[in-house]
Amino acid sequence: MVDKTQVIIIGSGPAGLTAARYLGELDVQYVLISKESRPGENKVCGGFVPQAALERFELGSFPRSHEIYGARLRFPGYEPRDVWFEEAVGVNARREDLGTVLEKKADLSKGILRLGARVTSVECGQDGCSVKYMLNDNTHQVESDLVIDASGSHPVSCKKDGVRSYLSDTETGYGFQYQVRYGTDEWEFPRLNYFYFGSGYSPRGYAWIYPRATDAAVGTGGLLNILRERNTALPGHLDRLLNEETPDQDYTGYLTVVKREGALVPLAGIVTPSYGQRLLLAGDAAGHCSPISGEGIYYAMTAGNLAAETVKECYEDNDFTKQKLKSYEKRWQKAFGSDLKWGRRIQRRFMGTSSGESSSKFLESEDVLRKVAEMLLGLKSVRSAIIGCLPAYIKSRLAFWQ
């Protein structure tokens, strides 16, 4: 038996579930297929949800979310410095908790969730789409007018004659992460997200600590080609970071590693095309991820929203052509394309050496530090942060050559 629907969504991350939410609100029927039995349960992610996402998508509060009020930044040649804000800049959450919230936002009266299912083929032609998947050892097939592929950094629709080829090693990052749990009530991380740059913490990338109420995500990473060249043992970077940031310089008395995990991350900046014949890519599948920090929750949710709006217009105009779907790419580029473009330029400039070891003295400025924190926490666009830091950067370079 072949099921039929209007739209097939592949993936239950922020992009897929947000697309489902808005398709339901726009009265469009959908089937969402995901390999995860519980959305977000196996996603490797720091889990920072910026204030912009909380407000725009009306997420409210959810279990075990942990408000964050700033950033702790460390650059080569500098001690760690804290930047605090008066109000919360966002929350850190376990991805399964975020997934539960996003799933509840979806209108299931208009859609069906097929969780714990593995997509085996995606075919989109002039007259429609067909997706086959395995669920409980049985093969199923569903047909639709359109597909939204939000299946991750290696989108399933691109395995064979897809919209585009997979990203290269110079455009893809790898993040390795500990999930750690507090072992004592006597100490905890401050309500800051940690961003540590330098070869001692990451091979041309950065290391992070995202604290939560009872645990934390601690990770490091970099571009895949660099990691393969150096064959770096990433756990050593994390052990060093944790020892530095816990009392007695020994984290084992305060934290227990409960899980080790890793994943690929798109760090290519703007990736096109993000649409094809009756097909849209969203979230990591479309490269919607910050080339600087690897964060992408807000971008993914925005893309899911815009994909749903584009689909609705296709039905209103009875037009499912590539030319019509092209408007989706224009929308997301207008919404956050500047962040991806300028983020990629910063990545090449400051992470092209030993993770920013060549940083100049302009980072001494507290004003510059605050602008960098605002950028990393999603409070300001990448371009506005660059413009704000430019005078101090030029001044430092002129001083260097004098």
Angle at 347 between CA 83 and CA 241, to 5 degrees: 50
Question: Residue 387 is which amino acid?
Answer: I
| Residue 114 binned pLDDT confidence (cut-offs 50, 70, 90) | very high
| Residue 81 binned pLDDT confidence (cut-offs 50, 70, 90) | very high
* Lowest model confidence (mean pLDDT) among 83-92, 104-113, 116-125, 309-318: 104-113
Q: Is the pLDDT of residue 400 over 80?
A: no
Helix (H) or strand (E) holding 342: helix 338-350
Mean pLDDT of 278-288: 98
Sequence ranges of the domains in the chain: 2-47+96-165+269-347, 66-91+169-266, 360-401
* DSSP-assigned letters across all residues of 266-281: E--SS----EETTEEE
Encode 266-287: b = buried (16+ Cβ within 10 Å), e = exposed. Answer: bbbbbbeebbbbbbbbbbbbbb
Of 195-204, 226-235, 288-297, highest mean pLDDT: 288-297
If we measure between CA atoms, which residue out of 255, 225, 230, 231 comes closest to residue 243? Answer: 255
The pLDDT of residue 398 is: 58
The pTM of this model reads: 0.94
pLDDT in tens, 323-345: 999 999 999 999 999 999 999 99
Superfamily of domain 2-47+96-165+269-347 in CATH is: FAD/NAD(P)-binding domain (3.50.50.60)
- Whole-angstrom Cα distance, residue 332 to residue 322? 16
Q: What is the CATH number of domain 66-91+169-266?
A: 3.30.9.10
Q: Which two tokens stand for residue 391?
A: 């005078």
